[in-house]
Chain A
Amino acid sequence: MTDVTITVNGREMKGSVEDRTLLVQFLRENLGLTGTHVGCDTSQCGACVVHVDGKAVKSCTMLAVQASGSSVTTIEGLANGQELHPVQAAFREHHGLQCGYCTPGMIMTAVDMIERHGSSLDEETVREELDGNICRCTGYHNIVKAILAAAGASQAPAMAAE
């Protein structure tokens, strides 16, 4: 067992974990932050994306001990109290979710994407950068729309027509 200290959503959290414990397991099992999900075993689906020191990371691909000393933001820490983060609000406004299972990872990926590209984000880039996030419900149409809307980017003509 190894002691870890991770700042999660602004609060310093300590725990003792088996070395093989994944960051996602630490968040879900030790801290009860069950908003971060596990959808595959191979780092493909992105349901587990969180931010580690400001960057989007698949928390099923990082050991909890690797994250010790880092600052982690999960979906639970994204809103400012009752006020939704603009990406959360855009997912609701544009119906970018159905069953909700992939949604936390999608939103965390989208926040990172928007932070890197800003309003220059275009549809092609969004679709390309969603390569590591799988959704089985929405066909991505409204997820792409929500991310572009949150980025404040002008939407592609084909989408604006609808």
Chain B
Amino acid sequence: MGVEGIGAKVLRKEDRRFITGRGRYVDDMSVPGMKYAAFVRSPHAHAKINGIDTSAAEAMPGVIGILNGQQLQGDGIGNLICGWAVNSKDGTPMKMGAWPALASQTVRYVGQAVAIVVADTQAKARDAAEAVVIDYEELPVVTKAVEALKDGAPQLHPEAPGNLIFDWELGDKAATDEAFSKAAHVTKLHIHNNRLVPNPMEPRAALGLYDPAEDHYTCWTTSQNPHVARLVMSAFYNVAPEHKLRVIAPDVGGGFGSKIYIYPEEIVCLWASKRTGVPVKWTSDRTEAFLTDAHGRDHETDVELALDADNRILGLKVETTANLGAYMSLFSSSVPTYLYATLLSGQYDIPAIHANVKAVYTNTVPVDAYRGAGRPEATYVIERTMETAARELGISPAEFRRKNFIRSFPHQTPVIMNYDAGDFEACLNAGMEAADVSGFEGRRAEAKSRGKLRGLGMSCYIEACGIAPSKAVGSLGAGVGLWESAEVRVNPVGTIEILTGSHSHGQGHETTFAQLVAERFGLPVDNVQVIHGDTDKVQFGMGTYGSRSGAVGMSAIHKALDKVEAKAKKIAAHVLEADEGDIVIENGEVKVAGTDKKLGWHEVCLGAYTGHNLPDGMEPGLKEGAFYDPTNFTFPAGCYICEVEVDPETGTTEIIQFVAADDFGRVINPMIVEGQVHGGLAQGIGQAILESTHYDDSGQLTTASYMDYAMPRAWDLPNFKVSTTETLCPGNPLGMKGCGEAGAIGSPPAVINAITDAIGNNDLTMPATPEKVWKALNAVR
């Protein structure tokens, strides 16, 4: 590798603007004549709208316009969509209830948008929004999925009798039943996977601008995938024709999945800009974010694991109820199905698996992908069950896992996935060594002498990312392909612009993507500009989620660089009168191997643009594009080991040590990869011990601010010991697997396994707050 090439710790190019306050986020934008929006939101979890009276609000100072759902529908704006079709096991399609961007007849969760107020200032817009009088007729409410399935439960959508969206299965039920009939031991567990609120630190925002002179629309939005936003807003919501709509996602302050979706607010701001004749900006406040950003997780699961007399796994049965909230968000259907049940084999050779998933409507915020999306839920199910089985059998959890590891690749699981490469034992060994597992009993005894309960828990996760092979996901119901695009523009002076369909909202693409150029041509990363997030500049692309920007996005750049390199070599061979096969490009020079004949990189580039001396028939210029469609998912895997101390008097858990040993395939920038793991771990540990999303019986979200929802703070977390092992992914040219979600996927079961080990009671749900831990401890003391 060069000093700035693949594998180098290159400091981030994008940092300077962020550390000097020059980042440009959506709320930082202003355009001439811009006005401010506030949304009128439902205070009820379920109600009929009998009337909307805006007369008092319209008379307030500074108010420009107030628009409602009837006007929206009258203008032909379409309902929100779910882009992944999942069928029930009886073959019937999923049951989608209509979700208008502004509700005009029924509201189904607290916070649902009913009207928009546009005014001179944000404060005036909010004042007027409070003066809009809506006549609501309250309806009965249900917030828990299991309750929503019961007879007599309040019904949300006429399209979905019994609130059931789909009843789906994966795997061979007969073979699994057969495996269980031969079991020497069966471990059973009920698992609750707590609902989470993603909470990127930048709240969502949208700025809609309609230009009547050009009949053209611009939308600045906090999006992880601006091209998809443009496509969906034009093709499905009819806000603007695609060629007349520019979507810009500038600096975006974190996403974690919650900024994949196209929400009502950006649709309504664009539409309102045309209706009112002024640019309209809306910025979410934090409580609005809690009430409207798509939530994550919220599963109830019964799991059974069958083992033979030699402690080898025979089969796995999983029954899950997934709460999808009041409406089907953009990719909500894929999360508890194809991103969840397909990972239930974990790192283990399991001959038979059957999973059944019921997806359910409730009067809560829609649930969709949040960091990990389905894979944390699967990992939590399998890794808590493995640990529990080992404890029931009185055997070492590590050795029990080791015994059942998949050891040869490719490996076809019974649940669709075909694992292409991995070395699970290498991760386990690296993790155990870093965590000094052999010294644990000594540390436990020492803690006991201080009156503390020490516990150790592990989790051996595998996930599927590099999302995703288009043909495969198409056959599973996806409404889009999941390839990525890149364009490499070489300027006449030899500097390079990379235009990518990926979007960076903290991942450091401006640096890592430039490292590919440094590796390829020996150019400094400072000579490379990475351009993303603007549909007027960048060719169509699919955006960033599912840890895909490396394995898919960088593979597209790699392919485009192949083409640039080939053309540059042809030009150099022609000028230097050498054979094309003898040309090498290194350190910014284009040389004939084994001779002193060479050209500067910039000379070749300039030659491409002057066109004075090109091979006959060659087009001038040096600009190449590529689309890359992966052939398989990628499979990052690792071993996480958590050590905790519980104070038996208070139930307080302290994370003493957290070890992460991951296999991400090839690592481009180890500094950035470690940072991604740290952040994922913090979110996973947050889920395990802190973050609780609570609805009361009337459907009010009682944890809708940072006063009530326990975000992980510096004090809650330890230093992390992270390391990587490497098996290259055979499915993409760079051998990359992806690192963005692993920390959040692998860590929750490690933490809970550690706490349950410390207190000697396996009956503990997330988040393991001091109160719950104290109660669980005292239940067995």
Contacts and interface: CB of A to CB of B under 8 A. Distances in A.
Nearest to A107: B19
Contact of B18 (A18, A97, A141): A97
A158 to B, nearest CB: 5
12 contacts: A35-B22, A39-B201, A42-B286, A75-B21, A92-B19, A93-B11, A98-B506, A99-B506, A100-B17, A100-B23, A140-B717, A144-B719
Interface string A129-161: 011011111111111100000000000101101
A59 interface: no
Given A130-B713, A136-B200, A138-B678, A45 B706 contact: yes
Which 5 pairs of residues, A with B, have the shortest CB-CB distance? A35-B21, A101-B253, A100-B18, A99-B506, A139-B682
Contacts of A92: 11-12, 15-16, 19
A41 B720 CA distance: 31
Interface of A: 18, 20, 28, 33-42, 44-45, 47, 74-76, 78-79, 84, 88, 91-93, 95, 97-104, 107, 123, 126-128, 130-131, 133-144, 156, 158-159, 161-162
Contacts of B506: 98-100, 137
Nearest to A140: B714
A136 B253 CA distance: 10
A103 B743 CA distance: 22
Given A42-B286, A102-B201, A141-B678, A136 B15 contact: no
B328 to A, nearest CB: 26
Contacts of B721: 158, 161-162
Nearest to B17: A100
Contacts of B20: 35, 75-76, 78-79, 84, 88
Nearest to B505: A99
Nearest to A40: B286
Contacts of A140: 678, 682, 713-714, 717
B336 interface: no
Given A75-B20, A98-B675, A140-B682, A40 B705 contact: yes
A55 to B, nearest CB: 19
A148 B199 CA distance: 27
Interface in B504-523: 505-508
Given A99-B200, A100-B17, 7 more contacts: A20-B123, A28-B28, A34-B28, A44-B711, A88-B20, A138-B678, A139-B680
A127 B714 CA distance: 5
A101 B27 CA distance: 12
Given A42-B705, A142-B678, A136 B21 contact: no
B714 A131 contact: yes
B484 interface: no
Contacts of A39: 201-203, 286
A137 B21 contact: no
B21 A36 contact: yes
Nearest to B672: A95
Contacts of A136: 199-201, 254, 256, 679, 682-683, 711
A56 B380 CA distance: 41
Contacts, number: 183
B713 A98 contact: no
B202 A37 contact: yes
B530 to A, nearest CB: 15
B123 A135 contact: no
A22 to B, nearest CB: 10
A84 B19 CA distance: 9
Interface in B222-257: 251-254, 256
B21 A47 contact: no
Contacts of A35: 20-23
A126 B27 CA distance: 30
Contacts of B678: 138-142
Contact of A135 (B14, B23, B201, B256): B201
Nearest to B28: A34
B21 A41 contact: no
Nearest to B283: A38
B609 interface: no
B681 interface: yes
A44 B18 CA distance: 21
Nearest to B24: A34
A95 B12 contact: yes
Contact of A18 (B21, B123, B251, B254): B123
Contact of B254 (A98, A131, A141, A142): A98
B418 interface: no
A141 B716 CA distance: 11
Interface string B346-384: 000000000000000000000000000000000000000
Interface string B1-36: 000000000011011111111111101100000000
A130 B712 CA distance: 11
Of B11, B23, B123, B683, most A-chain CB atoms within 10 Å? B23
A90 B674 CA distance: 17
A35 to B, nearest CB: 2
Nearest to B711: A134
A97 B705 CA distance: 23
B254 A97 contact: no
Contact of B706 (A44, A74, A103): A44
A138 B21 contact: no
A97 B675 CA distance: 9
Nearest to A159: B719
A139 B711 contact: no
Given A42-B705, A45-B201, A79-B20, A156 B679 contact: no
A47 B25 CA distance: 13
B491 interface: no
Contacts of A79: 20
B201 A101 contact: yes
B286 A41 contact: yes
B473 to A, nearest CB: 27
B21 A76 contact: yes
A135 B682 CA distance: 10
Contacts of A144: 714, 719
A44 to B, nearest CB: 4
Contact of B714 (A33, A99, A126, A156): A126
Contacts of A159: 719
A139 B679 contact: yes
Contacts of A123: 719
Contacts of A84: 16, 19-20
Nearest to B19: A88
Contact of A101 (B12, B25, B714, B743): B25
Of B287, B682, B721, most A-chain CB atoms within 10 Å? B682
Nearest to A89: B19
A126 B19 CA distance: 19
Nearest to B705: A42
B707 A139 contact: no
A139 B371 CA distance: 14
A138 B675 contact: yes
B202 to A, nearest CB: 4
A147 to B, nearest CB: 10
Given A45-B201, A100-B253, A158 B285 contact: no
Of A41, A107, A136, A138, most B-chain CB atoms within 10 Å? A136
